[in-house]
Amino acid sequence: MDASHPEPEHAYQAIADILGAQAPWKESPSSRLRFYGSAPVFDSPHRLTLSAGAAIGAYALAVEKWWHLATGQRQNVGIDWMQAASSLNPGHFQTQSGYSLPALSLLTELKADFYRTADDRWFFPIGSYPHLRDGVLDLLDCANNPAALAKGIGRWEGDALEAAFEERRLPGVYARTTKEWLAHPQGELLARLPVVEVIKIADGEPEPAQALNRPLDGLRVLDLGHVIAGPVVARSLAEHGAEVLRIAPPAMQDPFRQTVDTNIGKRSAFLDLDREEDRLRARELISGADVVVQSWRPGSLAGRGLGPEDAAALRPGVVYVSVSAFGETGPWQRRGGFEQLGQVVSGIAMAEAAGGRPRVVPTYLLNDYLTGYLGAAGAMLALIRRATEGGSYHVRVSLTQTSMWVQRLGLEPGFEPREERRHFAEGLAPLLETRPSAYGPLQQLPPVAQFSRTRAHWSLPPAPNGAHPPVWLDNLAREA
Rounded-to-integer distance, Cα 108 and Cα 50, Å? 34
What share of residues in the chain are helix, strand, coil (percent, to 5)? 40, 15, 45
Rounded-to-integer distance, Cα 184 and Cα 182, Å? 5
pLDDT, position 5: 72
Whose CA is closest to 380, among 1, 25, 62, 96?
62
Q: Is the dihedral of CA 84, 198, 32, 389 positive or negative?
A: negative
Q: CATH homologous superfamily of domain 8-101+180-451? A: Crotonobetainyl-coa:carnitine coa-transferase; domain 1 (3.40.50.10540)
Q: Which residues of 87-100 are buried (b: 16+ CB within 10 A; e: fewer)?
A: bbbbbbbbebeeee
What lies within 8 Å, CB to CB, of 74 at 6+ separation is 32, 64, 67, 68
The answer to whether the beta carbons of residues 160 and 171 sit under 8 Å apart is: no
pLDDT, position 348: 98
319-324 sheet: strands from edge to edge: 197-202, 392-398, 319-324, 291-294, 220-223, 243-248, 267-270
Domain boundaries, the chain: 8-101+180-451, 115-173
146 φ/ψ angles, rounded to the nearest 5 degrees? -55, -40
pLDDT, position 105: 56
pLDDT along the chain (480 residues), means of 10: 78 97 89 96 96 98 98 98 97 96 68 95 93 95 95 98 97 98 98 98 98 96 96 98 97 90 98 98 98 96 97 98 97 94 98 94 97 98 98 98 98 85 94 97 98 98 97 80
* Amino acid code (one letter) for 213: N
Rounded-to-integer distance, Cα 92 and Cα 424, Å? 10
> What is the β-pairing status of strands 197-202 and 220-223?
unpaired
Whose CA is closest to 461, among 434, 428, 479, 430?
434
CA distances, 206 to each of 115, 126, 202, 379, 389 (Å): 53, 44, 12, 16, 5
Which helix (H) or strand (E) is 185 found in, with range? helix 185-191
Beta-bridge partners for 200: 393
Length of the chain: 480
Q: Which residues of 36-50 are buried (b: 16+ CB within 10 A; e: fewer)?
A: eebbbbbbbbbbbbb
Q: Tell me the CB-side half-sphere exposure of residue 265, using CA atoms within 13 A.
A: 29
* Amino acid code (one letter) for 29: P
DSSP symbols for 265-279:
T-EEEE--TTSHHHH
